[in-house]
Structure 1
Amino acid sequence: MKQVCNAILAAVLMTGPAAAWAAAPAASQQASALAPEQQVDALFAKWNKPDTPGCAVTVIRDGKVLLRKGYGMADIERAVPVSPATVFNVGSMSKQFTAFSIYLLAKDGKLSLDDDVHKYLPEVPDFGKTITLRHLLQHTSGLRDAMNLMVLAGWRLDDVMTMDDMLGIIRRQRALNFAPGQEYMYSNTGYTLLAAIVQRVSGKPLAVFAKERIFDPLGMTHTAFQKDYGTLVPRRALSYQAAPDGSFKYLAVGESTAGPGGLLTTVEDLALWDANFYDGRVGGKDLLAQMQVTGVLNNGKPIQYASGLMVENYRGARLVEHSGGIGGYASQMSRFPEQHFTVAVLANTPGVSPTVMARRIADIYLGAELAPKAAPADSAMPAEIALDPARLDAFLGYYALSPTFGVTFTKEDGHLVGQGTGQAKGQLFASGEREFFAKVVNARFSFEEPDKDGIVQGFVLHQNGRDIPGKRTAKPTAPPASLKAYAGEYYNDELHVLYTVFEQDGKLMVAHPRTTIKLDYVGKDAFVSDFFGTEIRYQCSPDAGCTGFTLNFPRARNLQFSKVAIVAPGARAAADTGIFLEPDSTAVAKAGKASPAS
């Protein structure tokens, strides 16, 4: 099922990361005849307007700045344009500076990358397995992602999230996603702990340590870790997101942590940081080389993540890079070491797609030095045709790709729309009488001929060289009576959060703090949601009913919620469900009759 879900995820989750078709068509001969700077200007023309956010870009080769420009607005309300001196929050691109701080302390002889995290942070839960600093650096610790946990606990992006808030929720965890070294899974928790270790070992907060040991020595005078979201920062770009009508709205970012993110910088300062990777003025070349060594799992399988940096291959060239994103901020810094070529793109709206833009800028400047682009055989986007909306009726309905996963096709505003189980909707476009494709990712749908009643009974999804069949069937639905059994109040003490599950219009709903999500039944006491792909599996038995559920989130697995009863102060009503919660938040355990899920 997991492979099928992953395949269809890219096909119908149109809000997901851009894939093969996210890049624009190849440049025309006329465009390629322009000077490189003019070609870059053309890339960002859409964002170089007085009513849009934008980005700052720098291109560096052999230590020489080839391009350094700003496009669009840093502050739309006050008509302040983006310039190379504009300060951006670079999100997770910050991690390389946190990692570098750890390597500096290792060089000082104050710690070892293979030390147990408990040597420095004894308050981190003991999961019965050694978690090293190297595990934290390479995202192989198995620790649940703190940002995911905070979302599940009801926090929002515009809430003020401090280091203490994140450490508090980490301390309450009682299980790992997997054994340390068993898998690679990106986790902000690791870099939160690394920042705390820098403070424990050096006696200085990461923001102070990085300023003294990295930023000041390199002359990065406009770079700092943000310790408090309210700190005034001259020339800072504001954060924006697109509104449904095409305009933009301000998106507050309340993050007040340093480590997994929180770095404020400029493309001018990043050029100084880039130079250090070649001359090793701070830290030395050996340290910087070690920092770019990628990890290896327990089974010997290599991963692409090193320490705060991804090491990949693009068009035959080694590429060392990292992206970042928080709120409306998005960033990318991509270094081609053998070509001594670097691109940095910092944006104040995610619509700019800095990762895609950085690669396209590399295509412009490196040109024939890179290998030809390798594309899947079916990567050419079909020509779109107009199709009578009435013809779409034959395709509408639910099609199963596995016993617990399928796609529902609906018609909205005269267009065919697909939605995978527990995923977001995405519009499809006709390329033939029974052929449809997605524009954001490389995915095509071929439907069978209609039967004698004019109804299509199946389709084939073509994606990444695979052909995955789907057959029309009844969509799995839970019996109405069972929905009442699933309803109730459920508590998780690792998150300190209460969820209310209730039935509405034949659907199971979850009142998550400050939002409500809808669940899709997939059978055997299991549900999924398009709320970041949440999965819920109930524990039910004939005797005790449903006593709890396990929740899986993208980077936080197997969170156990127990069914509880909300009772009046002092009351102790007899019941078979496991925990009573009083208004004063005192939890009193009571043995129940629960058994594993059927």
Structure 2
Amino acid sequence: MKCTPIQRAISLAIMVILLATSTTFAQSKAAKIDALVQQYVTNRQFNGSVLVAEKGQVIFKKGYGMANMEWNIPNAPDTKFRLGSVTKQFTAMLIVQLVEKGKLKLAGKVTDYLPDYPKATGDKITIHQLLTHTSGIPNYTNLPKFFETLSRDPVTPEGFAKKFDSMPLDFEPGTKFSYSNSGYFLLGVIIEKVTGKSYADALTENILKPAQLSNTGYDLFSPILPKRATGYEKKNGGYVNSPYLDMTIPYAAGSMYSTVEDLYRWDQALYTDKLLSASAKATMYTPFLDYYAYGWGVKNAKIGELKDSLLLIEHTGGINGFNTIISRLPKDKQLVVLLNNTGGAPLSDIRRNILRILYDQPIVAPKKPIADLLRQSLQSDPLEKTKQKFTAWKADKAYSVSEEAVNGVGYELLRDGKTKEALAVFTLNAEAYPNSYNVYDSRGEAYKAMGDKDAAIQDYKKSVALNPRNTNGFDMLKELGESVEAPKEVVVAVDSATLASYVGNYQLSPAFSIAIIKKGDKLFGQATGQPMFELFPESKTKFYLKVVEAQVTFSSNEKGEVEQLVLHQNGQDMPGKRLR
């Protein structure tokens, strides 16, 4: 059917209106994101670059604050930031590429590829376990005085691996999740051994060039790198240059730099088969323990008041003076990238608010952090005055008190030898969070530094009583000459018929479900891609796991039929519908 000139004009007008409406809508979201981030900047909670994509298209990118404070050079979308542990997803990609090429096996042992690795542990640990932080290899960044004694000198990969390869495992491989930079460092060594190339060259050849990531690479100190941000840390109410870290130390666990624009290109490449086949990517995104897949955290996330949760694939990073996050929602091709160069920014909170904007949900207005005010007061006021101010700030709804941030202030003071002030800060934190095991563990460290053994023992005892899995607390008690047994766990008896009623498959997301199995008088759960673990009842409907910090609650409908379980982990409640 032919269109008349008038019909064509009307159609053209409608198209213009639709385009204008779409552009206005996108601008509206961009303006909201800008206003939101500016609030965090005003609160001194963000200094870096932001990129947000909606349905695969960039709707917002901008830099805030300074890339270099000494020369007043501003951050921009093409500023290069150190990524920290966001590096791990690139290392995981290289490994899975080698698996797809038949050069590695996920079930292969470390000693299959590194014959000189100690056989006592290397014969037991698989590539899969290295990728999922379930190897049991101690985390080298947790070694005593690591940052003071080991972090400043250049190393070779194979040479540095000897720092931890003979250490006893923290647990039997595959039985627990424990984040370990050592595992990803070792994956880099394996990549070099299998390919015959350096980690940096393998990265460039297999990922950076094919994905056209021209502003991404291995961040060594000596090469001249245009538009590289300087890392800073908060101190005494201002900023200081972050401590030097030789980048051969983080290596395949955290050595890379990039820009928000390049990470958008990376995100887009992951929707194609350019780097990896669809089936291999599905393997890479399958979560194991603690929602960790291969270089990515994978779980369902609740956004505002939306009824349904959405699959979120993300990873954070933190390295001297920098913290970072890349968050992907593949269903709607949404992306949030936040790169910060002043350390300690609340990037997860910012990301949550940006996602609320993308899905037209109300944001949670950021509050002014008490930690910064605390730093300033400690510089200018008597200690008693600071304590009074802290109490007033805590009662004011305009301010937020973060356990982690206040603890950070305490450790800054402890490192500076200001043990009296550090103890006061840890005590304020303990009063604000009396049920947190970590605040007592930290205060115990301050008492120990002051030589007050009895007070240190008392705090460490309180810490392990609140969290029997706090191994550091038990280690410190042992060091202080105390022997304390972990509290015995009380297991509630649940009848066989009730246990049988829970048996079935529960779907938490299209790619993740939990199978509940009954064996004798015990209940077991097996999540997608994970081994089977026993569930221990703490009530008739609520069970807990011993291998990770998680609980499962079963719920029934009006007819008494079990229709759902809820997985409680990392402060989130994730419902799973029972499949019929």
* TM-score band w.r.t. shorter chain: 0.5 to 0.7
Q: Which residue pairs with 2:456 in the alignment?
A: 520
More RCO (CA 8 Å, sep 6+): 1
CA distance in 2, matches of 1:88, 1:266: 6
Alignment of 1:116-135 (within 5 A): 116-127=109-120, 130-135=124-129
State the SS of the aligned residue for 1:325.
strand
Q: Which residue pairs with 2:290 in the alignment?
A: 303
- 8 A Cα contact 2:46 2:345, kept in partner: no
- 8 A Cα contact 1:527 1:537, kept in partner: no
Amino acid at match of 1:415: K
- 8 A Cα contact 2:231 2:343, kept in partner: no
CA distance in 2, matches of 1:356, 1:332: 11
CA distance in 2, matches of 1:438, 1:65: 32
Q: Find the partner of 2:385 among 401, 405, 413.
A: 413
Question: Is residue 215 of structure 2 the alignment partner of residue 222 of structure 1?
Answer: yes
Indicate how the Cα distance of structure 1 residues 116 and 431 shifts in structure 2: closer, same or farther if over 3 A, else same: same
> For the aligned residues, what is the CA RMSD?
4.4
Report how far residue 33 of structure 1 moved.
13
Question: Is residue 218 of structure 2 the alignment partner of residue 282 of structure 1?
Answer: no
Amino acid at match of 2:452: K
Amino acid at match of 1:536: M
- 8 A Cα contact 2:158 2:189, kept in partner: no
Amino acid at match of 1:122: P
CA distance in 2, matches of 1:504, 1:111: 48
Report how far residue 253 of structure 1 moved.
3.0
Q: Find the partner of 1:85 among 74, 78, 82.
A: 78
Amino acid at match of 2:164: I
Judge which range, 108-117 or 518-527, deviates more: 518-527
Report how far residue 76 of structure 1 moved.
1.1
Indicate how the Cα distance of structure 1 residues 38 and 161 shifts in structure 2: closer, same or farther if over 3 A, else same: farther
- Kindly provide the CA deviation profile for residues 136-189 of structure 1, in whole angstroms up to 9, marking residues without a partner as x: 00000111001112635842655546535531211341x111111111010001
- Kindly provide the CA deviation profile for residues 245-302 of structure 1, in whole angstroms up to 9, marking residues without a partner as x: 334445433222421010111111111110122122221222222110111xxxxxx5
Indicate how the Cα distance of structure 1 residues 262 and 247 shifts in structure 2: closer, same or farther if over 3 A, else same: closer
Alignment of 1:328-343 (within 5 A): 328-343=321-336
- Kindly provide the CA deviation profile for residues 359-415 of structure 1, in whole angstroms up to 9, marking residues without a partner as x: 2111111225xxx99x9xxxxx9xx9xxxxxxxxxxxxxxxxxxxxxxxxx983263
- 8 A Cα contact 1:304 1:311, kept in partner: yes
Alignment of 1:448-459 (within 5 A): none
Q: Which residue pairs with 2:131 in the alignment?
A: 137
CA distance in 1, matches of 2:452, 2:236: 27
Question: Is residue 280 of structure 2 the alignment partner of residue 252 of structure 1?
Answer: no
- 8 A Cα contact 1:75 1:237, kept in partner: yes
CA distance in 1, matches of 2:260, 2:452: 49
State the SS of the aligned residue for 2:226.
coil
- Kindly provide the CA deviation profile for residues 290-319 of structure 1, in whole angstroms up to 9, marking residues without a partner as x: 110111xxxxxx530000000122211110
Q: Which residue pairs with 2:452 in the alignment?
A: 507
Q: Which residue pairs with 1:440 in the alignment?
A: 402
Q: Find the partner of 1:96 among 73, 81, 89.
A: 89
Q: Find the partner of 1:243 among 219, 235, 238.
A: 235
- 8 A Cα contact 1:131 1:141, kept in partner: yes
Q: Which residue pairs with 2:503 in the alignment?
A: none
CA distance in 1, matches of 2:354, 2:461: 49
Question: Is residue 301 of structure 2 the alignment partner of residue 344 of structure 1?
Answer: no
Report how far residue 56 of structure 1 moved.
1.1
CA distance in 1, matches of 2:175, 2:274: 36
Amino acid at match of 2:333: H
State the SS of the aligned residue for 2:326.
strand
Q: Which residue pairs with 1:580 in the alignment?
A: none
CA distance in 2, matches of 1:152, 1:344: 30
Q: Which residue pairs with 1:536 in the alignment?
A: 476
Indicate how the Cα distance of structure 1 residues 219 and 182 shifts in structure 2: closer, same or farther if over 3 A, else same: same
Q: Find the partner of 1:365 among 335, 355, 358.
A: 358
State the SS of the aligned residue for 2:49.
strand
Gaps of 5+ in 1: 1-31, 296-301, 376-380, 385-409, 418-425, 443-459, 469-474, 477-501, 509-517, 541-545, 551-598
Indicate how the Cα distance of structure 1 residues 187 and 539 shifts in structure 2: closer, same or farther if over 3 A, else same: closer
Indicate how the Cα distance of structure 1 residues 461 and 86 shifts in structure 2: closer, same or farther if over 3 A, else same: closer
Q: Find the partner of 1:45 among 19, 38, 42.
A: 38
- 8 A Cα contact 1:60 1:67, kept in partner: yes
- Kindly provide the CA deviation profile for residues 424-448 of structure 1, in whole angstroms up to 9, marking residues without a partner as x: xx8686659xxxx972259xxxxxx
Report how far residue 507 of structure 1 moved.
2.9
Tell me the TM-score normalised to structure 2 length. 0.60
Report how far residue 206 of structure 1 moved.
1.5
Identity %: 29
Q: Which runs of 4+ in 1 moved over 6 A?
A: 460-464, 502-505, 523-528
Report how far residue 505 of structure 1 moved.
6.8
Indicate how the Cα distance of structure 1 residues 163 and 428 shifts in structure 2: closer, same or farther if over 3 A, else same: farther
Amino acid at match of 1:521: I
- 8 A Cα contact 1:415 1:429, kept in partner: no
Amino acid at match of 1:221: S
- Kindly provide the CA deviation profile for residues 471-505 of structure 1, in whole angstroms up to 9, marking residues without a partner as x: xxxx99xxxxxxxxxxxxxxxxxxxxxxxxx9997
Amino acid at match of 2:359: L
- 8 A Cα contact 1:124 1:170, kept in partner: no
Question: Is residue 141 of structure 2 the alignment partner of residue 147 of structure 1?
Answer: yes
Alignment of 1:160-309 (within 5 A): 160=154, 163-164=157-158, 166-173=160-167, 175-226=168-219, 228-257=220-249, 258-295=251-288, 302-309=289-296
Amino acid at match of 1:208: D
Report how far residue 127 of structure 1 moved.
3.6
CA distance in 1, matches of 2:152, 2:455: 26
- 8 A Cα contact 2:26 2:59, kept in partner: no
Tell me the TM-score normalised to structure 1 length. 0.58
Alignment of 1:463-482 (within 5 A): none
Amino acid at match of 2:145: V
Amino acid at match of 2:299: E
State the SS of the aligned residue for 1:322.
strand
Q: Which residue pairs with 2:312 in the alignment?
A: 319
- 8 A Cα contact 2:394 2:400, kept in partner: no
State the SS of the aligned residue for 2:339.
strand
CA distance in 2, matches of 1:160, 1:429: 44
CA distance in 2, matches of 1:519, 1:116: 46
Report how far residue 125 of structure 1 moved.
2.8
Gaps of 5+ in 2: 1-24, 303-308, 371-381, 405-429, 438-442, 465-469, 485-580
Amino acid at match of 1:151: K
CA distance in 2, matches of 1:348, 1:467: 29
Q: Which residue pairs with 2:347 in the alignment?
A: 354
Could you say which structure has the higher helix fraction? 2
State the SS of the aligned residue for 1:313.
strand
CA distance in 2, matches of 1:504, 1:206: 41
- Kindly provide the CA deviation profile for residues 204-245 of structure 1, in whole angstroms up to 9, marking residues without a partner as x: 11210110011001110111123x332321110000011213
State the SS of the aligned residue for 1:217.
coil
Report how far residue 100 of structure 1 moved.
0.3
Alignment of 1:476-491 (within 5 A): none
